[in-house]
Chain A
Amino acid sequence: MLRYALSRLVSLALSLLAASVVIFAVIEVIPGDPAAYMLGLNAAPETVAALREELGLTGSLWARYLDWVSGMLTGDFGLSYTYRVPVADLVVQRLGVSLPLAGYALALSTAIALPVGLWAAARRGGPVDLAVMGATQLGIAVPNFWFAMLLVLVFAVKLGWFSAGGFPGWEGGFLAGIKALTLPAVALALPQAAILARVMRSALIETLGQDYIRSARAKGLTQGQAIRRHALRNALIPVLTILGLQFSFLLAGAIIIENVFFLPGLGRLIFQAITQRDLIVVESVVMLLVFAVIVVTFVVDLAYAAVDPRLRRR
């Protein structure tokens, strides 16, 4: 198990290294000089050159790459071109919104999807199963921003239970923060839950057809006991895969939802940074997201091994 974890860790470090090279290269080849963009069309070439110097855009590619990587390792992500504040501060601030939002949405979608998938699988072909399959189909088909607007219309405008957008900050108290994140989390969670419920259902149905379920029934287990004691854990493996993918998506993919609800999250930060050619912010946030995705993959790999003894020896 330890060896398995170590080998996963090594591959994690290598992936990060590869990702940093790719991100740096892509940002370098994107046309558009941030200094020229910041100073406007009529700037004198000397001024632009001076700003380039100040922003650290001169020097060889190799030196700048090393600079960037070593800076990140020590927690120095550089200075935002537009805001003129350390990128690290910006990111930490935004993470304070995006991370809880992603976690909240993930918790919601898991809490909904697993029982629903289980319920549908146990009553395969029955009315419950058909209803669940219909509802999840709809959940996948409906775009989440449209669903978000619907939520705002009903729960904020009509009923007035939640505010329509914005985030008061965690200084305003935990409950106020959670309340502000509830509608966006629901909007993010439901389509994810629909996918997850379907995966859970089909994984369980497949597991229920396995020979060892028949063996379990022959030992005297009821159908319910066979599901709880044998099928569930075996069905978890595909579910874990999807969960890992979904967390990464929720962290990085909340751009539209954050815009609908005016949330100061990572998604909005990266969106604004791209439009303003604030490439150092783009670079850092993308790298951070890659880091998050790789860490989540690592955790999922460990979870596989915890669930499935066949993986532990590798």
Chain B
Amino acid sequence: MIAVEGLSVAIGAAPVLRGVSFGVERGQIVGLVGESGSGKSMTALAVMGLLPPGAKASGRVALDGTDLLALPEAALCDVRGRQIGMIFQEPMTALNPVQNIGDQVAETLVIHRAASRSEALREARRRLDRVGLPEGRFPLTRYPHELSGGQRQRVCIAMAIALRPQLLIADEPTTALDVTTQARILDLLKGLVEEERMGLLLITHDLAVVAGMADRLAVMRAGEIVEQGPVADVLRERRHPYTRALFEASAHHPGAEARPGDTPLLQVQGAVRDYPLPRTRLFSRPLPFRAVDGVSFEVRRGESVGLVGESGCGKSTLTRAILGLEPLQAGEIRLDGQAVQAGQRMPEGLRRKMNVVFQDPYGSFNPRHRVGRLIAEPFHLTGRPADADARVAEALDSVGLSPEDRHKFIHEFSGGQRQRIAIARALIIRPELIVLDEAVSALDVRVRAQILDLLADLRARLGLSYLFISHDLHVVRAITDRVLVMQAGRIVEHGPTEKVLRAPEHPYTKDLLAAAPELEVPT
């Protein structure tokens, strides 16, 4: 139905896509995998005719024989939404915040003059019902900010399929979502493909997602498709070395082993964190929302403990309290034997015993400071030592970067290198505990594998303890000794990682595990 032949795209003189060819038939799911920057999204935008200004496409994108690249803009507008629908990665921002969901879904029909406004709204209702947003809880007058990420992605899907297009392009549709939400959205997409006989081009960086879903698989690297074929064949044979590398990195398990000691380093006792909700009345006290509800656990010296749970379960709130950024309402945090009670500020002497690495390697650095200064930032907790420069060089060296890199700016580094710099920044004050808050979630699989190796190596060499917060069970399995499962502010299950992941006891842990896509090799 759609045939892409020799598609090349260049921005200025720089080629972005080179001779990309693939096809999608009705009722077929084609997975397009690759790392960030490999040209997956650019391929989708080229098919949609929505390339950024300055980009030039050549080759052929034939939809039922018509070459889309040759169509004028007005004709393309008619194709978009009617024959090809598209959904994007970020459901939180993909909807217009000042228009209700009914109008946004109906707009697809109105714009293509497929229905009158009232008829379009009735069809919007039916489509929203179909994507799992029933009228009772989700009337057409809902606004996007009243919906969760998964619900918004459902609205986006309803919008994209309102006119029953032949082809749906889904660009990382579940990357920003929790595992259980991801599983439901993927189910929905699969059901729609069967029901409507649509073709689905599923773009993702996650091999496990396509493995369970696609009929065909194309692996992309640096603007080219290096391997494609029926999904079982590609996964089994892995003819191209890049496919092999991707595959191995997805299931990577760091080699270096560390022996955790027996003395407790961090002890959290009955921790409670409340947030005030927005005021409901002008002169009454706002009601509290309990984000962390009586959590207790400990991390021993040299131990790596995982904390898993979905977004909104209280992981990040708990982390902020442990780091001493916000006081507890009840309970205590004990670090290296020294206790901080509820309501107390954490003394600086204690704060310098731990440090943190955040998820976003782009947003967590001041872009106007040089790397040397960024890494030296935590010295404000300890006072700047005389050998500060040597320590910066040492920290850079220990994360596998060159000491000379301290003169560069952060934009000169890739995502993986930035995360190394973040780790160097955490190491600089020689902490005993490092809190890793989704520290590898934004990285490509191969980079992620390298960072996991680095973390394992540092732990073995320096005797560090980790509190590893993640929604990704594979990563937690790879790097932690014990795991805590958090749901709605409470720890619902804990134990040795292997045991919890192999034989979960709590129903919530079972749900999480069932939802996590598994990368299995077909035989």
Contacts and interface: CB of A to CB of B under 8 A. Distances in A.
A314 B93 CA distance: 21
Contacts of A64: none
A32 interface: no
A225 B96 CA distance: 14
A230 interface: yes
Nearest to B83: A220
Interface in B81-99: 81-82, 85-86, 88, 90, 93-99
A301 to B, nearest CB: 15
Contacts of A220: 77-82, 108, 111-112
Contact of A218 (B73, B74, B86): B86
B145 interface: yes
Interface in A199-236: 210-212, 214-222, 225, 229-230, 233-234
Contacts of B143: 309-310
B282 interface: yes
Q: Is the interface of A mostly helix, strand, loop or mixed?
A: helix
B156 interface: yes
B93 A234 contact: no
A183 B278 CA distance: 49
Given A220-B81, A220-B82, A221-B111, A214 B95 contact: no
A211 B145 CA distance: 15
Interface in B77-136: 77-82, 85-86, 88, 90, 93-100, 107-108, 111-112
Nearest to B48: A218
A149 interface: no
A234 B111 contact: no
A307 interface: yes
Interface string A233-260: 1100000000000000000000000000
B97 A212 contact: yes
A212 B155 CA distance: 12
B213 to A, nearest CB: 22
A230 B99 contact: yes
Contacts of B452: none
Nearest to B278: A314
Contacts of A314: 278
Given A229-B107, A310-B145, A215 B97 contact: no
Contacts of B79: 220
Most chain B beta carbons < 10 A, residue from A225, A310, A314:
A310
Interface string A173-203: 0000000000000000000000000000000
A231 to B, nearest CB: 9
A69 B289 CA distance: 43
Nearest to A124: B53
Nearest to B76: A220
A227 to B, nearest CB: 12
A10 interface: yes
A49 to B, nearest CB: 48
Contact of B80 (A210, A212, A219, A313): A219
Contact of B88 (A7, A211, A308): A211
A249 B30 CA distance: 60
Interface in B55-81: 73-74, 77-81
A-B pairs with lowest CB-CB distance, top 3: A220-B81, A211-B93, A219-B81
9 contacts: A210-B93, A211-B93, A212-B97, A214-B50, A234-B98, A307-B98, A309-B145, A310-B98, A314-B278
Given A217-B80, A220-B112, 17 more contacts: A211-B90, A211-B94, A212-B93, A214-B88, A215-B96, A218-B50, A218-B160, A219-B81, A220-B82, A220-B111, A222-B74, A230-B96, A230-B99, A234-B96, A234-B97, A307-B98, A314-B278
